[in-house]
Chain A
Amino acid sequence: MSINILLFNVTLLFYLISTILFLVEVSTRHLKTVGVARWILWGGFVFHCAALLFRFIEVGHTPVASLYESLSFFAWALVGTFILFDLRYRLVVLGAFVCPLAVILMLVGSAVIIGGVEPQQANPMLQSKWFPVHVTFAFLGHAVFGVAFAAGIMYLLQERMLKSKRFSALYYKLPSLDVLDSINYKCLSFGFPLMTLGIISGAVWANSAWGGYWRWDPKETWALITWFWYAALLHGRLSIGWRGRRAAIFAIIGFVALVFSFLGVNLLLEGAHTFKSMRGE
């Protein structure tokens, strides 16, 4: 087992324990496990950084070329974004909804490893300086929208409890609707520019690699659809006063579409972005 896979597995273990502690926190009224959960998550994140670094050294390019690498990078961006949000806004409960997401991505990632990991051949396309720019923007955007997705689910849960007047333990742990809605807005205002930059840098990269900015392959199409979706939400928020429930639902659907354009398109549809074709076969 290469050191990067070992580190990946250690990271997964840390995230898993952290997720369990987060879930214990929100499903009980008086147990306080969230502090430990945070530390373990940070520990896992350090291992994750190391895993990416070793992979980078191993393959010689930004390690976001294979499906396994992308999943790991996605999870890394998600956890990193959550950590930043938590540092800035002290919203550790968010972890109960973000961490499971990261764990799922990692689990899919390790399933891919079991199915046989592909050490990449040197591919001139991956040596382009636009490649790391593209994937970094794209995945940071994904991660920020992932946080918006988590906040959206929290909003809907909380709203339903307030409307139905039946409160579970979760109610006492969730922040106010106002705070959850403001996370939605903050994520949108960070995520949308990141996503836009991701698409633009991707087009520039495509141009330098294939000599054309846009080829309407399924992934590009889906990315554009998702971009319009988030543009609509941003517009709705800023000018029509969309907020609360509607904004939460929009963020949830948007993220599902994002994940589909990331995973579904690769697994179900053929195109330039599938990792197979990236290998330059």
Chain B
Amino acid sequence: MNILVVGLSHKTATVAVRERVAFAPTAMERPLHELLALPAISEAIIVSTCNRVELYATSREPEAALSQMRRFLTSYHGLEAGSLDENLYEYQGEEAIRHVFRVASSLDSMVIGEPQILGQIKTSYGYAAEFKTAGLILNRFLHKAFSVAKRVRTETAIAGNAVSVAFAAVELARKIFGTLEGKTVLLIGAGEMCELAARHFINNGVSQVHVTNRTFERAVKLAEEFKGRAIAFDDFPDHLHQIDIVLTSTGASTFILGPKKVEEVIKQRKNKPMFFIDIAVPRDIDPRVNDVANVYLYDVDDLQGVIAANLKERHKEAKKAEGIIEEEIVAFDRWLATLDVVPTIVALRSRFEEIRRAEVDKTFGAALKNLGDKERRSVEALTSAIINKLLHAPITLLKQEQNDDSTDSSVHAVRTLFNLEPPKPEGKLEDLDDSAENQ
């Protein structure tokens, strides 16, 4: 049984293409069932996010299945056949496993290490489970992908350190203030980035938000949103001494704050540190403010610098993650191999033979110690005949079902029932004929 992936992502397709092939999360039943209905496909999952659309499937005829999956993706969305060819990638076997593990671990994401993708795949898997399009292999495969992603997150620092302006600001503030609890933020001006940063600060424990704006009504509105307090723009310097963290992004063309004022404020605060985050372009705060003792000023470029360094670090960690993924591929491959019929039959036979041997030897060593050679041979033949008779039905079933979709479950059941170990000698079905039965 082969694992297959067909899809496109932000790396191979523009958003204009991606949006045309996206699947609506509210209506996954129909596409999942249509995909499963394709003749070469045994199990199916559809992952559809704003950055990628991917089909995961298992099949015994990989080549046929891959082309059916490609066709499905175009025809389902009413696109011309072959129109996505330059955007689509396809993987099978080990490559497919690697791809899904990498995607789930966020190594293939636009921003490496961002955790959303894992949740999105979990949701996609949820639909497949709900509509029963995922079977034994994909169930196990996806669960493995989730645990690989978890291992990558805990064993590498791939998601460590901020890669957004807002988070970078929060991390820096923590380095200065330790805890953000009880700290006060002042928002000067309005802007998406500024508000986002303020929200992050609130989520991380900041207790009070003050807002000021040239248009006082806007300040009031924003203050309400943050359950904070609005301050008239002209008065804000008088409130600065109560503020620990200042976020500014006004449209002012000159500096609204210089080192002299800040020095005064710091004196008033008895040298308690202040952190200024200037997101405005042109800048709102005179860069010389950074030279005032106990004051830390970061402008947009400084924050971008922090982010760039963090991203570089994530890429370094990604290398470690690739190693983990390779390990896990080997482990998963081993499990997949146990689903093969031939080694299962071999293992089943040797398990029975092992038990027979052990029991016969035990009896020969004790109760039947005085048995002659001839009798011993009879006992051997008798016990062999019993296990061969017992094994006849299950082995015949496994062989017959070789090309049947239910084989995987039968093999899995046999493995589980008889606690068979995973090793897999390469053997041919013909070598396992029941010649022993004829003894």
Contacts and interface: CB of A to CB of B under 8 A. Distances in A.
Interface of A: 29-30, 158, 162-163, 165, 167, 171-172, 175-179, 240-246
B174 interface: yes
B296 A242 contact: no
Given A167-B309, A178-B177, A242 B298 contact: no
A175 B178 contact: yes
B410 to A, nearest CB: 46
Contacts of B29: none
B306 A165 contact: yes
A188 B84 CA distance: 71
Given A162-B172, A165-B298, A176-B176, A29 B313 contact: yes
Nearest to B290: A163
Interface in B169-185: 172, 174-179
Contacts of A30: 157, 317
Nearest to A164: B290
A171 B290 CA distance: 19
B305 A165 contact: yes
Interface stretch (B68-76, B99-107, B186-194, B268-276): B268-276
Contacts of B306: 165, 167
A245 to B, nearest CB: 6
Interface in B221-267: none
Nearest to B313: A29
17 contacts: A29-B157, A158-B175, A165-B302, A167-B306, A171-B175, A172-B161, A176-B178, A177-B175, A177-B273, A178-B273, A179-B178, A240-B270, A241-B271, A243-B270, A243-B271, A243-B272, A244-B271
A22 B174 CA distance: 23
A162 B176 contact: yes
B294 interface: yes
B50 interface: no
B156 to A, nearest CB: 8
Give the top 10 A-B pairs by smallest Cβ distance, nearest first: A241-B270, A178-B178, A176-B178, A165-B302, A243-B271, A244-B294, A241-B271, A179-B178, A177-B176, A178-B177
Given A29-B157, A29-B313, A244-B273, 15 more contacts: A158-B175, A162-B175, A165-B305, A176-B174, A176-B176, A177-B176, A177-B178, A177-B273, A179-B178, A241-B271, A241-B272, A242-B271, A243-B270, A243-B271, A243-B294
Contact of A163 (B179, B271, B296): B296
A176 B177 contact: yes
Given A177-B175, A240-B270, A246 B293 contact: yes
Q: Quick one: which of B178, B269, B290, B313 has the most chain A CB within 10 A?
A: B178
Contacts of A178: 176-179, 273
Interface of B: 157, 161, 172, 174-179, 269-273, 290, 293-294, 296, 298, 302, 305-306, 309, 313, 317
A245 B273 CA distance: 10
Contacts of B172: 162
A167 B296 CA distance: 14
A50 B273 CA distance: 45
A158 B179 CA distance: 16
A223 B66 CA distance: 84
Contacts of B161: 172
A30 B155 CA distance: 10
Contact of B296 (A162, A172, A241, A246): A162
Q: Quick one: which of A30, A158, A179, A242 has the most chain B CB within 10 A?
A: A30
Nearest to A178: B178
Contacts of A244: 271, 273, 293-294
A245 B294 CA distance: 7
Nearest to A239: B270
A189 B346 CA distance: 76
B159 to A, nearest CB: 13
A245 B172 CA distance: 18
Contacts of B296: 162-163
A57 to B, nearest CB: 46
A123 B309 CA distance: 63
A169 to B, nearest CB: 10
B62 to A, nearest CB: 40
Contacts of A158: 175
